[in-house]
Amino acid sequence: MRVLSFLCLHACAALLLLPGSGAAAVLDDMKDTARWQASASDQVKASLRRDARDDSLCLDYDFAGVSGYAVMRRELPTDWPADFALAVPLKGQGRGNDVQIKFVDASGDNVWWVNRPALALPDTLTEMRFKRRHVDFAWGPAADRQLNRTQFLEFVVVAGQQGGGAGSLCIGALDLSPREPAPAAWPAPLRKLGAGELTLDYRGLREFNGLWFARGAATRVEVSEDNRRWQLLSAQPGRALFLGEQEWRWLRLRYEGRQPPEVELRDARQWPDRNAAVAELARSLPRGDLPRAFLGAQNYWTVVGVDGGAQRSGLMSEDGAIELTRGGPSIEPAVRLDDGRLVTWAQSRQEHRLVEQALPVVQWRHAEVELRVEAGADGPPAAPGLLARYTLHNPTSRPQRYALLLALRPWQVNPPQQFLSTPGGVSPVASLAWADGHLAIDALRLRPRETPAEVRAAPWHAGPSLAALQAAPPLTQLADPEQLPSALMRFDLMLAPGESRSVGWVTAGEAAALDTRLAVAAAQWRDRLGHLTMRLPAAAQPVADSMRSALAQILMSREGPALRPGTRSYARSWVRDGAMMVAGLVRMGELQAAREFVDWFSGYIFASGKVPCCVDQRGADPVVENDSHGQYLFAVAELWRHTQDRALLQRHWPQVQRVMAWMEALRQSERKPGADPRFKGLMPPSISHEGYSDKAAYSYWDDFWALRGYKDAVQMAQALGEAPLAARWAGWRDEFEADLSASIAATARHYGLDHIAGAADRGDFDATSTTMALNPAQAEHLPPALLRGTFDRYVAEAFARIDGRKPWRDYTPYELRNVSALVRLGRVDEAHRLLDWFFTHQRPAGWQQWAEVVLPDAREPRFLGDMPHAWVSSDYLRAALDLLAYEQESSGSLVIAAGVPARWRDAGEVGVAGLSTAWGRLDYRLLRRDGGWTLHLDRRPDRLPGLVRLAWPGAEPLPRARAAGQALAWQGRELPLPADVLTVELDATP
């Protein structure tokens, strides 16, 4: 029986025939339409029909321009064997949509699935078979995630990356065949040697994903299941031959020489994908020949791009490799010394910095050579060009001859453990060519500024080591059947002692203008990031530098108007991320990017008024996340507060009204008579909080955002003169805030808590989520003891981590929000101790960025989200800006310097110019002088309804305050400044 691979990695449809160890059982002959029900997400159409031509049942769908899903579902209680093959005949029409088979338990909470992204369905019924190992636990609260018994079966079509369109999914009769589980240890194969030929008999059908040649090499690999009919697997196998899923009994190897090769099978556990095969090969090569990511060590990286060009951005690794485009191949540097020794990332020490807080630089240090790698980008967002410059420096006291080696590699900088939107690791390359002074890499073009001394290339089977590349034939054209070729450009440089010389390349435009283009790109970022000027002591300069870097990271991570948390794993636009980015952008004076996002996202709000959690090229995502509605309202209102653009409110007014109606209907659905006081009047359960993805929860995260939305809707209605509607919404707002406060207290009583819970139905602890109550919600009726208890516990646990008293496995730098919360609570020393610790986890430090996930062992390879993570960047921006000034909504006051510790005040000038607030621009300077300080308000916000209040955090005595010779009175540790006061003398008290 012939077997074709079902290769999950490529998400392709293929026939997979597997032997069963027991009789097949028909789960459903698919002839009774009445057993199944069709449903769909918002604005998607779905219906069922029978196709009498082949007795299949078809789900017809139309995504109608939105993202989402169409489902066919039936109740089908099933006890699953220890191992099995599930036969599913499929056909369909449609463009690159995801197909999912879901198995749901009786509770409906726990789901297992087979998920096939962009599945190309055949035109006629074609049987696919799935084994137990193809079925993954998808989500749910179950402690036992083994697939044992399920109650419901679903077939789901999910809109693919290119948009869902209209189409159909048809299913034939479903068969389930029990199988014998694989043995713990397979018996050794029987060997038969012939002239230049080795045949291995595995004594039965044997599953494997690839071949590893531990010794020797083969010139041809064939397989058979009957020892008579043979199928060719590879005519040019390399040392690591990845094949995808195979099942055969006989393996025949042809070889040259006297000794047969020693071959080992690699199964799906050992080589689940091609990345695993590359990793095993990397471990057999000299350290430095391949990236550290394939050697089991975490690699860090940053984005290289232009504002709004995330889709075509590059990446730069901490070791100096540059990824040419999203998901594309990379250029890796190495230096060959005159004596033939190689210097790679593994033999050098790396340092990192940014040019103008935006363009990354990697510096290699080695006794014999130094290498500086600089990267940048220019051009329009839709078609930016990457720029790279490599500067070799001779640090020795004698002339040196160097060869700079730039290797084109068929893998990304984005490491193999990354997944979601852009799986990391291997990046297939079909063909390479060198002609007319440029390197053609499929559709990419790389133009060196200097002509290489030589360009060589090798297919995968020749080996990817640097030694193999240096010995490879010169490149004219190369097509690699395994789509994993490498190329090498060599540049020879003779350097006198202390001399430096550069070479470089571009992917678009003139290579000769590389130096000018890099200088212009740096100058443009300097201007773009310079709206806000900060004056901080030298010791605090990293705070200001990281603010500018965070702004650049947000802008480079956006795709056109779409604000996104990342360029690879999170290449989607969430409204929650966008709303918080908007809050940081407008305060930094970056109004255009904020305006573009708000206007763009509003076009994806569902007709019902439901705000999608996120949007990507497929359209609006219908997943229920009940923070979204308040976040949209906040984003519009916050932009209006900073711009006073009435036309903005008028443009969004129809959507604002629909969203308010939707949000209010959600609230009223939880105000039924007899409702549990923990849940009464809250937003219904959702999975918006990432910690509740197992099961929807009554998350206070949703409610704090809803409160913000109610407040903002009232303010927008008032600004547009909609007095009756403003009054009505104000009633909803007040009732909701009262219900929310009552719920928080009731939940604390129910669970015996001394803090605010993360969710009303869980009684858990999540201070980072609770920070939303302070900013942006500015909730006024939180139980004070519970609020204090929340941050007492957070500080105690955080400091235990910092001091090494509490082991930790990971954390997310979303925790930067706690810096803002502690500043607003007057706990500035604790805020700065936290901030100092967070700064130690910028990786690498010179690039002033955080990943979404931080690990105590910097080299432990795990999924990190994106680097930089632009939502984390926005959290940092908002927290750092609160150190200097924040709005106090309840009093209409602007609090300045609340996060300025005594050591900053005593070190010299602290100030800011060009800080946008909800009430206008703020410029101030706090200057140290003999005997005290002088505060200059160079520009007060012109729409401020209350007062500017100078905070004086710390425990030292308050200074005496005078303005125009008149004493000013402190209120606690804040000094209210009358509207006509611009200069205040602060005399230190003995």
Q: Residue 88: what are its φ and ψ, rounded to 5°?
A: -130, 100
- DSSP 8-state class, residue 697: B
Q: CB within 8 A of 957, min separation 6: which ones?
A: 989
- CA-nearest of 530, 344, 325 to 443 is 325
Q: Looking up tokens 């604390």, which residue turns up?
A: 748
Instruction: Find how far residue 131's CA is from the centre of its chain.
Output: 31
| Strand segments (E) across 550-592 | 573-574
User: Do the Cβ atoms of 328 and 412 come closer than 8 Å?
Assistant: yes
pLDDT at 22: 59
Tokens standing for residue 77: 């209680």
Q: Strand 25-28 to strand 438-441: parallel, antiparallel, or no bridges (unpaired)? A: unpaired
Separation between Cα atoms, residue 442 and residue 436, nearest integer Å: 16
Amino acid residing at 875: D
- Residue 172 has φ and ψ, to the nearest 5°, of -95, -170
Tell me which DSSP letter residue 157 carries. Answer: E
Alpha helices by DSSP H, listed for 826-945, are: 828-839, 870-884, 902-907
pLDDT tens-digit map of 328-370:
999 999 999 999 999 999 999 999 999 999 999 999 999 999 9
Q: DSSP secondary-structure letter at 811?
A: B
All residue ranges of the chain with pLDDT < 70 are 1-22
Rounded distance, CA 878 to CA 880, Å? 6
Cα separation of 977 and 22, whole Å?
85
Task: Please say whether the beta carbons of 735 and 716 come within 8 A.
Answer: no
66, with CB counted inside 10 A (0-12, 13-18, 19+), is buried
Looking at this protein, which amino acid is placed at residue 925?
R
H/E element, 76: strand 69-79
Q: Are 14 and 130 in contact (CB under 8 A)?
A: no
Q: Residue 875: which residues within 8 A CB-CB, separation 6 or more?
A: 580, 813, 814, 816, 817
Q: How is residue 153 written in tokens?
A: 């079966």
CB neighbour burial string for 448-457, b if at least 16 within 10 angstroms, e if fewer = bbbebebbbb
Parallel, antiparallel, or unpaired for β 486-495 and 454-458?
Answer: antiparallel
DSSP 704: H
Q: Where are the beta strands (DSSP E) in 765-843?
A: none
CA torsion through residues 874, 863, 364, 404, sign: negative
537: tokens are 């002591």
- Residue 227 to residue 223: CA distance in whole angstroms: 8
Q: Which two tokens stand for residue 971?
A: 């209120």
Give the span between the Cα atoms of 619 and 76, in whole angstroms. 32
How many C-beta neighbours within 10 Å does residue 257 have?
A: 10
Cα(480)–Cα(141) distance, rounded to whole angstroms? Answer: 46
Q: Is 766 exposed, middle or buried (0-12, 13-18, 19+ CB in 10 A)?
A: buried
Cβ proximity of 374 and 389 under 8 Å: yes
Tell me if 392 sits within 8 A of 370, measured CB to CB. Answer: yes
Query: Which residue(s) pair with 562 in the sheet?
Result: 559
Q: Would you say 263 and 200 are in contact if contact means Cβ atoms under 8 Å apart?
A: yes
Is-contact 346 288, C-beta < 8 A? Answer: yes
From residue 638, alpha-carbon distances to 610, 634, 666, 820, 971 in Å are 20, 6, 23, 18, 29
Q: How far, in Å, CA of 786 to CA of 11, rounded?
A: 50
Please count the helices (runs of H) and the strands (runs of E) in the chain.
16, 50
E runs forming strands in 394-460: 400-409, 431-435, 438-441, 444-448, 454-458
Name the DSSP letter for residue 479.
E
Cα angle 281-284-289, degrees, rounded to a multiple of 5: 80
Interatomic CA distance for residues 487 and 889, integer angstroms:
60
Q: Report the DSSP pairing between strands 477-479 and 910-917.
A: unpaired
Residue 16 confidence (pLDDT): 33
Amino acid at the residue 288 = G
Query: How many other CB atoms sit within 10 Å of the CB of residue 193?
Result: 9
Task: Classify 531 as helix, strand or coil.
Answer: coil
Alpha-carbon dihedral angle through residues 916, 920, 923, 924, given to the nearest 10 degrees: -110
Residue 163 has a pLDDT of 73
Distance CA 970, CA 949 (A): 10
